[in-house]
Amino acid sequence: GAGVSQSPRYKVAKRGQDVALRCDPISGHVSLFWYQQALGQGPEFLTYFQNEAQLDKSGLPSDRFFAERPEGSVSTLKIQRTQQEDSAVYLCASSLTVAVKSNQPQHFGDGTRLSIL
Amino acid sequence: AQSVTQPDIHITVSEGASLELRCNYSYGATPYLFWYVQSPGQGLQLLLKYFSGDTLVQGIKGFEAEFKRSQSSFNLRKPSVHWSDAAEYFCAVAPNSFSGGYNKLIFGAGTRLAVHP
């Protein structure tokens, strides 16, 4: 498809398990973002990649969260030793260019809904 | 720190009525401003954006927004609401970085719009 694809759409895990969430951005998009959206809240920035370089990880809530984009395309967000407060929708977005002031918007995927029991 | 406030958590309007969703931001300079819409189980779709210039911005689906610097506001409007407009609406800002910065979005908590037939 032409859009941002995220998998799985839903993930249920027991507290303490590790999870991996995948994002396939639109082909050729340089910028890739991860956001966390708690129930009833707006998305909150987690991390940003420019091609394969992770330039900003200031939003990652703890060292249990790790993201990578080794070939500058697909990205994986990994959460180790999950806790109940990690339950949220994780959104991935990509955009064609780097610069803020462009006509290329961020395209969002449908998200992965993560539930920690 | 930058922040975005959407004072109305829920709004209900009748189909065909006009709509205004409020958004206020806190930022030292004029940021880049965005409105996104999110349908249940979906990602976010960009409605419109403001970078500079004309303070009245036209978007998709008949929406418009007006930037008012004196009020630090960027309210979203639509003259006649359709039932399909029922969704959650998010206002977002991106820091106006002159270093070619990327589009790190800061979202408000959202306004849920219900439309009565």
pLDDT in tens, B18-69: 999 999 998 767 788 999 999 988 889 999 998 888 899 999 999 999 999 9
pLDDT tens for chain A, residues 1 to 117 = 579 999 999 999 999 999 999 999 999 999 999 999 999 899 999 999 999 999 889 999 999 999 999 999 999 999 999 999 999 999 999 998 776 556 678 899 999 999 999
Residues 6+ apart with CB under 8 A from B77: B18, B19, B20, B21, B63, B64, B65, B66
Q: Which of A43, A50, A105 sits opposite B102 (nearest CB)?
A: A50
Tell me the C-alpha to C-alpha distance, in Å, between residue B26 and each of B52, B97, B106. 17, 16, 11
Does residue B100 register a pLDDT over 70?
no
- The pLDDT mean for chain B works out to 90
pLDDT band at B97 (very low <50, low <70, confident <90, very high): low
Contacting residues for B75 by C-beta, under 8 A, at least 6 apart: B20, B21, B22, B23, B65, B66, B68
Q: Say whether A100 and B106 touch across the interface (CB within 8 A).
A: no
Length of chain B: 117
Q: Length of chain A, please?
A: 117
A111 backbone φψ class: left, alpha, beta (φ>0; ψ -120 to 50): left
Chain A: give the shortest CA distance to residue B71, in Å. Answer: 22
Rounded Cα gap, residues A79 and A92, in angstroms: 15
> Which of B32, B43, B100 has the CB atom closest to A98's CB atom?
B100
The pLDDT, as a whole number, for residue B96 is 62
Supply the pLDDT for residue B42: 84
Residue of A nearest to B95 (CA): A100
Q: How confident is the model at residue B91 (pLDDT cuts 50, 70, 90)?
A: very high
Across the interface, of B94, B102, B109, the residue whose CB is closest to A42 is B109
Taking the C-alpha atoms of B23, B26, B31 and B33 in order, what is their torsion angle to the nearest 10 degrees? Answer: -10
Q: Distance from first CA to last CA of chain B, Å, rounded?
A: 41
Q: Which residues of A touch B (CB under 8 A)?
A: 4, 31, 33, 35, 40-45, 48, 50, 55-56, 91, 93, 95, 98-101, 105-106, 108-111
Query: Residue B104: its pLDDT value, please?
Result: 81
Q: What is the reported pLDDT for A70? A: 96
User: In this structure, what token pair is assigned to residue A50?
Assistant: 């420019």
* pLDDT for position B95: 72
